[in-house]
Structure 1
Amino acid sequence: MEKVYEKEFNETIYFDQDEKATITIQKTGSLLMVLRKGISSLKLHLKLEADSQSKILLYNQSASTLSVDLEVEVKKDAKSEIGFLDMEESDVTFKQKAFLKESGADIKLMSAQLGQADTTKLNDIEILHEVPHTFGYMENFSVLFDRAHYEMVANGNIQKGCYGSQSHQTTRVLTLGKDHKAQVIPLLLIDENDVKASHAQTIGQPDEEQLYYLKSRGLSQRQAMGLLSVGYLLPILELVSDEATKEKMREEMESKVGLYGHGKNS
């Protein structure tokens, strides 16, 4: 599949089977890509042309083991926020590489994953700065239940000569169950002095004082943990422009984390 957005856009694309796709964005807009039950593999190439501005969210609804390979090219003064939301009870391998190819290229990569019981989520994300004055940001959030396995390799790579560039990343993992495994590898490969770069990560259980406060307001232990989980995952929905769609996705998120007192992990 090949698609070019030459005018302003606000669209939803559904993938129902394995797909190789190239999408070119030339203007300003919002794109929601829904990976539905029939898909197990997606190879996606995004071309973000000069001066374009976009918000893009990949939303996993696949019931199968899923592999996503996403490559992004960002041209002069293009600005984009790209997210991956995954709350399914299935294994996922997610690979993403963004190439900042011309000055002023600015990208923010986000991921929000719910590690349901006994699932494996493997992630490898890189932003490669190829020219000066480029900007890359990563924000990764995950919530893990019993025996979930989560891996995140987050790599900010600033090549020699790419002065005036910035690379920043944050990964936060909330562990709610037992016997889970979480491995986060933050990498900053810097071959230039005149740059700004940072990384931060946290892996841990909920704050006991927060839980106590929420339970004092009448929530059960499960509901309190669910509410904290939503706080980790919810920011990615800012990439969705349609308010009705956003609200429906929020309700699905609240259900998945057990806020309504049912679900696999309740």
Structure 2
Amino acid sequence: MTTQTILPVESEALRALSESNNEPGWLTVQRLEALKLASELALPKLEKQKIERWNVSEYGTYKTSKALASLDDAPESIKKLVQDQNEGGLVIQRNSGNVYAKLSEELAAKGVIFTDLATAAREHENLVKPYLNTAVKADEHSIAALHAALWNGGVFLYVPENVEIEVPLQAVLLTDDASATFAPHVLVIADTNSSVTYVDNYVSSELSAPVFHSGVVEVIAKAGAKVRYATVHQMDTLVTDVSFRRAVLENDATIEWIVGEMNDGDTASNTMSVLKGNGSKSDSKVIAIGSGSQKNNYTTEARHFGKNTPSQMITRAVMREEASAIINGITKIEKGATKADGQQTEKVLMLSPKARGDANPILLIDEDDVTAGHAASVGQVNPEQVHYLMSRGINRTDAERLIIIGFLAPVVSDIPLEALRTQLQYLIERKLGQ
């Protein structure tokens, strides 16, 4: 069954916009086809969540973004995130487009490409065209289709064969104009036996009206490639954030997802690894804190097609006040994926009688010679633990804080990037109102 989707733009206006931005003809056609699909498709189905009640229509309109002459001209919300952290490369998007892109000369000399996706589509068609919208396809649902039609700015990262990048590459994506479309698309291509760490931050500031963030991430990891993808979303209550992240792994490729869901507004995210090749490996770590009346739906998936493919998924969420969270872990082992090993853990801690948490571990197995397991728990702060700490002279607020930090610590401490650990620890303190 499909539903009629009200389109935020007409096809001729979209064509004119694409042509005015000097986009290649194939991209214009792709956008128009996706827009047509959007009118025919239904919204995505979220487990135990009615996304049609969310603000998923405030797309705004495309607005030209003014380039930054230097980082000194960047808003404070960006400066505090990039200080001393952009030695390798930095891309900044503000609202509808790229405003800054820099890559070290050393990495450029090795053939690394790190720029905004809009520029890459014009200058590196041979790399962008074969992969864009192939991991997250436009025909999956109306939000995916509208994203394929309307994406702007974005990030493109290409790491050539056998190139190992030691320093993280970073991007900051900012929305601070509620009338501007904010729909970045990230495309990462790690060629054979390459290695890279990519970190991005999604932030908002000074918004005067609701914004819908429609985001897509596609990671293509060729044989033997190793990709570490870290992302932190910290947008305010006026932003509804719906993000789809997907990695496609060839033989012996590795993806490590590190996801910090620190938004204040309604959030839905799907982080999936497709273990296509033999020996491919996925490790996903998600931490989330909800507050106010925020509604959250976090899904982590691993789909095993190749043989000897291990996957691990760990999600830990803390819900405060009247916030709610649906945590879904899905391990799908396809027929023929012998020796696959899928493990998942979802835990939710509720700090208020009005907070809600729901953990849903799902194993879908079509092969006999495999290993799979799951663990899930939902509960409130243990009063005995609070009493014990208070009996040692610690007040109730600090006692609960220590318990919460201890609950999240197994995930945070396992993050190999010191700067990201520090940032997440700060955001945890802020979200907990400490």
Name the CA distance, whole Å, in 1 between partners of 2:258 and 2:378: 21
Q: How many residues align?
A: 258
Deviation of 1:212 (Å):
2.0
Deviation of 1:51 (Å):
1.5
Aligned to 2:204, what secondary structure does the other structure show? coil
Name the CA distance, whole Å, in 2 between partners of 1:56 and 1:32: 6
Alignment partner, residue 8 of structure 1: 164
Name the CA distance, whole Å, in 2 between partners of 1:231 and 1:186: 23
Query: Please, which of 76, 84, 89 is the counterpart of residue 259 of structure 2?
Result: 84
Deviation of 1:231 (Å):
2.4
Deviation of 1:28 (Å):
2.1
Pairing 1:127–2:283 present = no
Alignment partner, residue 51 of structure 1: 224
Task: Give the conservation status (yes or no) of the 8 Å contact 2:350–2:356.
Answer: no
Query: Please, which of 240, 243, 261 is the counterpart of residue 68 of structure 1?
Result: 243
Name the CA distance, whole Å, in 1 between partners of 2:241 and 2:196: 27
Post-superposition Cα deviations, 1:105-128, rounded to whole Å, max 9, x if no partner, equal 000112111011211111222211
Q: 1:237 to 1:72 in 2, by over 3 A?
A: farther
Any residues of structure 2 matched to 1:1-266 within 5 Å, and which?
1=117, 2-6=156-160, 7-9=163-165, 10-16=168-174, 17-26=182-191, 27-37=194-204, 40-63=213-236, 64-234=239-409, 235-236=411-412, 238-239=414-415, 241=417, 243-258=418-433, 260=434
Task: Give the conservation status (yes or no) of the 8 Å contact 2:247–2:255.
Answer: no
Task: Give the conservation status (yes or no) of the 8 Å contact 1:3–1:22.
Answer: yes
Q: 1:32 to 1:216 in 2, by over 3 A?
A: farther
Aligned to 1:89, what secondary structure does the other structure show? coil
**Larger radius of gyration, structure 1 or 2?**
2
Task: Give the conservation status (yes or no) of the 8 Å contact 1:142–1:232.
Answer: no
TM-score, normalization by structure 1: 0.90
Name the CA distance, whole Å, in 1 between partners of 2:186 and 2:371: 34
Name the CA distance, whole Å, in 1 between partners of 2:377 and 2:370: 24
Post-superposition Cα deviations, 1:154-211, rounded to whole Å, max 9, x if no partner, equal 1100011111111111001111112222222211001111000001101111222321
Name the CA distance, whole Å, in 1 between partners of 2:243 and 2:395: 36
Structure 1 residues without counterparts, runs of 5 or longer:
261-266
Name the CA distance, whole Å, in 1 between partners of 2:425 and 2:301: 28
Deviation of 1:12 (Å):
1.5
21-30 or 59-68, which deviates more: 21-30
Structure 2 residues without counterparts, runs of 5 or longer:
1-116, 118-155, 175-181, 206-211
Deviation of 1:218 (Å):
3.4
Task: Give the conservation status (yes or no) of the 8 Å contact 1:145–1:178.
Answer: no
Task: Give the conservation status (yes or no) of the 8 Å contact 1:111–1:236.
Answer: no
Aligned to 2:401, what secondary structure does the other structure show? helix
Aligned to 1:170, what secondary structure does the other structure show? strand
Deviation of 1:151 (Å):
0.5
Letter in 1 for 2:199: L
Identity, in percent, stands at 22
Deviation of 1:36 (Å):
1.5
Letter in 1 for 2:248: E
Deviation of 1:244 (Å):
4.3
Name the CA distance, whole Å, in 2 between partners of 1:42 and 1:124: 15
- CA root-mean-square deviation: 1.9
Task: Give the conservation status (yes or no) of the 8 Å contact 2:327–2:360.
Answer: yes
Aligned to 2:422, what secondary structure does the other structure show? helix
Post-superposition Cα deviations, 1:113-154, rounded to whole Å, max 9, x if no partner, equal 101121111122221111211111110100111221110221
Name the CA distance, whole Å, in 2 between partners of 1:217 and 1:248: 30
Aligned to 1:40, what secondary structure does the other structure show? strand
Q: 1:177 to 1:137 in 2, by over 3 A?
A: same
Name the CA distance, whole Å, in 2 between partners of 1:232 and 1:54: 27
Deviation of 1:251 (Å):
2.5
Deviation of 1:35 (Å):
0.9
Task: Give the conservation status (yes or no) of the 8 Å contact 2:262–2:427.
Answer: no
160-169 or 6-15, which deviates more: 6-15
Aligned to 1:147, what secondary structure does the other structure show? coil
Name the CA distance, whole Å, in 1 between partners of 2:416 and 2:183: 24
Task: Give the conservation status (yes or no) of the 8 Å contact 1:154–1:186.
Answer: yes
Deviation of 1:37 (Å):
1.1
Aligned to 1:8, what secondary structure does the other structure show? coil
